[in-house]
Chains A and B, each alone.
Chain A
Amino acid sequence: MDRRLFLQSGLHAALAAATLPWAGWALAAPAEAALLQRRLQQLLAIPARYLQQHLPAIWQDLSTAERQTLAAFLAAADPAANWLQDAKAGPLLKQISRSLYTGKSLPGRPDRRYDPDGGYCRQLLPALYKARLTCHGPVNFWQSVEGVA
């Protein structure tokens, strides 16, 4: 194989691996993808990188009807309003927010964690906490907050 082609294919593979979850979803529904991500970024103070990593799995668990409700609402929503309070789309947006913050699957779906590390809320804990289910580390660290509080 040509050396340049070889390097290009390697680069494409690496890029695909890094962006596959989001890219797959974006290809399936590009307008909705862009809209949902943009609106969630307006609604929640979660970094774009975290959203890109975990939103596709949540989207895949939504039904067609839920996606349509969401898309219609988000397209017309007042950017200044708190959409979680909306009677129609609010409950679903709360569920999605809950899934992003805790990593837990949407209600009524098969039991899973979209983020086994415990969702975005774990990243809000002070550094003195251990990561979720870290199977190693010091003992008796819980005696003190010296140096980590």
Chain B
Amino acid sequence: MTPTQYDLVVVGSGVAGAMTAWQAARSGLKVLILEAGPRLERQQLASRHRASARWDSMAPYPAQPHARQADPIGDPAYLTSTAQAYDTTYIRAAGGTTWHWGSASWRIPAKDFRLQQHYGVGRDWPISYQDLEPYYAAAEQEMGVAGRDIPHLDLPRSTAFPMPPPQFSVMDQLLAGPLKAIGMELFQEPVARNTQLYDQRPPCCGNNNCVPICPIGAQYCADMTLTKALQAGAEVRYNAVVHQLQDQADGNISALFYLDPDGRRHQVQARCYVLAANAIESCKILLMSVSKHSPAGLANSSGLVGCNLMDHPHIYATFDCDFPVYAGRGPIGITGITQFMDGEFRKEMGAKKFSILNGNQLEPVTEALIEQGLTGEALNQAIRQQAVRRFSSYVQHEQLPHQDNRVTLHPTAKDVLGLPLPVVHWRVDDYARKSCEHSAGLYRQIAKTIGARVQIDMHMGSDAHSLGTTIMGTDPAQSVVDADCRAHDHPNLYLNGGTVFASGSSVNPTLTIAALALRLADHLVNRLRPA
């Protein structure tokens, strides 16, 4: 029997893969999606979360030996070589990591595409904000983004936000005045979380549980776009762990191979191949695909596959106020401080974005008081008193691309399918570190202004935003993919997702990943659709 020939095979069904597959399928292309993990059910995840003592982002997602997920508390999918913690998380399942994200849906400000040009550091993208703007608008439409313009940021828009922003919480209202007085204005962050009925999803009703799982689906998950892709005619195979692509002498990819959970090997052929398996797993596939034509792995003539890993090193602060702020009512995050997302300081240190967190403080407060030895009614009183007066915040910082921050394959450590484990080599450079130290000073200033005690955790770990490992550029010697996300070395191989980012900016990457994926879909449709 002749195997089915697809126009397009998309590896991964997170936001990047789902967006490209949906747009391509509804434009008439024959699309196959290969997803390493299973399909998940929201209700089951919510039940698992309810029954779990863990409160972290990976708690309800079941471990799966054939497609290990990045779960630093449970089973990490990768190894690390450096003292600096790289504690990222990612989900390998239909919908990918958008199951447990906070739904921040930022456009990258226009200047951040030209970091080298404006500030003499980092790299410039081969595309501009204007190139991406229509796709940002389309992505916001599909994901259902609620927000409002932030005047001082360079984010020109062709369309209005699909929904108005969420309302300030009581805490935001209390903090806004004092913060504005010291030049830090609070703004609602744009979020793909419904503030009204939208796309058959309910509005947020404040479960305060966006991470690890929104129990009602008010928050966007790429599983929703995947469903639309399937309705548009795309096919999907779950639990299909892609481990090799086969190249020819002319550079074209001729076949793709995947393993099922029992280790059986399957072959798929298509006219074009899209890797959308995230910044660690996509490079792993490229580096495993060694051939006589590509001895260092696919797309790697530059030697840069896996290099330039960027994230958003973050620090974290806990504030104990003298007045109740009632954190924990509503979604887990509503507002942020955006004054430090751009400025001349970027010649010296990274841009940053502050987020005011609205997570319920009851459990950490209670545990700390018991640890101190409080008992009886004194304990109950202290819990009542402190839990409503505490809130937390974090700052995510821009990091520059460096070749030695990279993903490699471990020479001997393997998973149950016999595939090598990735190794992450990562350190926080002085550009980001200096910004983190500056942020700590700002936190102390905030504490003084609002009359709170602050504890600062200079963790500087990953913010689960892995970026840049198949970096985009115009020079094949200095980059892995071109402005169309096509591998310089392979005419029919594309990389999709945060892995192609040329700079990390200080904003959350998901909306840009979605916009790039829709732009890639347009390119593929133009290339593959019959005239």
**Chain A residues at the B interface, C-beta cutoff of 8 Å:** 43-45, 82-85, 90, 94, 97-98, 101-105, 111-113, 116, 118-119, 121-122, 124-126, 128-130, 132-145
CB of A46, distance to nearest CB on chain B (Å): 8
A43-B376, A143-B167, A145-B326 known; A105-B207 Cβ under 8 A: no
A44-B379, A133-B209 known; A112-B51 Cβ under 8 A: yes
Which among B170, B215, B384 has the greatest number of chain A C-beta atoms within 10 A?
B170
Of B52, B208, B358, B380, the residue contacting A130 (CB under 8 A) is B208
Of A84, A105, A138, the residue contacting B53 (CB under 8 A) is A105
Other A-B pairs, 12, CB within 8 Å; known A111-B54, A121-B366: A43-B375, A84-B375, A111-B59, A112-B53, A113-B50, A121-B383, A121-B387, A126-B326, A129-B328, A139-B203, A141-B206, A141-B329
A125, B208: Cβ atoms under 8 Å?
no
CB of A47, distance to nearest CB on chain B (Å): 11
- Residue B205, interface by CB 8 Å: yes
A130-B207, A139-B205 known; A102-B363 Cβ under 8 A: yes
A142, B362: Cβ atoms under 8 Å?
no
Of A98, A111, A136, the residue contacting B370 (CB under 8 A) is A98
**Chain B residues at the A interface, C-beta cutoff of 8 Å:** 46, 49-54, 59, 166-170, 173, 195, 203-209, 215-216, 326, 328-330, 358, 360, 362-363, 366-367, 370-371, 373-377, 379-380, 383-384, 387-388
Q: How far is the CA of A141 from the CA of B373 in the complex (A)?
A: 35
A139, B206: Cβ atoms under 8 Å?
yes
B329, A111: Cβ atoms under 8 Å?
no
CB of B457, distance to nearest CB on chain A (Å): 21
Q: How far is the CA of A139 from the CA of B52 in the complex (A)?
A: 26
Q: How far is the CA of A98 from the CA of B374 in the complex (A)?
A: 11
A116-B50, A126-B388 known; A133-B370 Cβ under 8 A: no
CB of A148, distance to nearest CB on chain B (Å): 10
Q: Which residues of A contact B380 (CB under 8 A)?
A: 45, 124
Of A85, A124, A145, the residue contacting B170 (CB under 8 A) is A145
A128, B203: Cβ atoms under 8 Å?
no
B207, A134: Cβ atoms under 8 Å?
yes
Q: Which residues of B contact A101 (CB under 8 A)?
A: 366-367, 370, 383
Q: How far is the CA of A26 from the CA of B528 in the complex (A)?
A: 72
Of B46, B54, B206, B375, the residue contacting A142 (CB under 8 A) is B206
Task: Kindly report which residue of chain B lies nearest to residue A96, judged by CB atoms.
Answer: B370
24 pairs, A vs B, C-beta closer than 8 Å:
A43-B375, A84-B374, A85-B373, A90-B373, A98-B366, A98-B367, A101-B367, A101-B383, A112-B53, A113-B53, A119-B366, A124-B387, A125-B387, A126-B384, A129-B326, A130-B329, A133-B50, A135-B205, A135-B207, A139-B205, A140-B166, A142-B329, A142-B330, A142-B358
Q: How far is the CA of A130 from the CA of B208 in the complex (A)?
A: 9
A82, B375: Cβ atoms under 8 Å?
yes
Q: Which residues of A contact B170 (CB under 8 A)?
A: 142-145
B205, A138: Cβ atoms under 8 Å?
yes
A84-B375, A124-B384 known; A141-B330 Cβ under 8 A: yes
B367, A102: Cβ atoms under 8 Å?
yes
Q: Which residues of A contact B205 (CB under 8 A)?
A: 135-139
Report, nearest first, the 6 A-B pairs whose CB atoms are least far apart: A142-B330, A104-B53, A142-B329, A121-B366, A45-B377, A142-B169
Task: Kindly report which residue of chain B lies nearest to residue A130, judged by CB atoms.
Answer: B206
Task: Kindly report which residue of chain B lies nearest to residue A137, judged by CB atoms.
Answer: B205
Q: How far is the CA of A132 from the CA of B208 in the complex (A)?
A: 8
CB of A101, distance to nearest CB on chain B (Å): 5
Q: Which residues of A contact B330 (CB under 8 A)?
A: 140-142
CB of A23, distance to nearest CB on chain B (Å): 24
Q: How far is the CA of A119 from the CA of B384 in the complex (A)?
A: 14
Q: Which residues of B contact A116 (CB under 8 A)?
A: 50-51
B362, A122: Cβ atoms under 8 Å?
yes
B329, A129: Cβ atoms under 8 Å?
yes
Task: Kindly report which residue of chain A lies nearest to residue B331, judged by CB atoms.
Answer: A142
Q: How far is the CA of A142 from the CA of B325 in the complex (A)?
A: 11
A133, B206: Cβ atoms under 8 Å?
no
Q: How far is the CA of A130 from the CA of B204 in the complex (A)?
A: 13
CB of A39, distance to nearest CB on chain B (Å): 11
Q: Which residues of B contact A113 (CB under 8 A)?
A: 50-53
Task: Kindly report which residue of chain A lies nearest to residue B384, judged by CB atoms.
Answer: A124
Q: Which residues of A contact B173 (CB under 8 A)?
A: 143
A84, B203: Cβ atoms under 8 Å?
no
Q: How far is the CA of A134 from the CA of B207 in the complex (A)?
A: 6
Q: How far is the CA of A73 from the CA of B362 in the complex (A)?
A: 30
Task: Kindly report which residue of chain B lies nearest to residue A105, judged by CB atoms.
Answer: B53
CB of B226, distance to nearest CB on chain A (Å): 23
Task: Kindly report which residue of chain A lies nearest to residue B363, judged by CB atoms.
Answer: A102
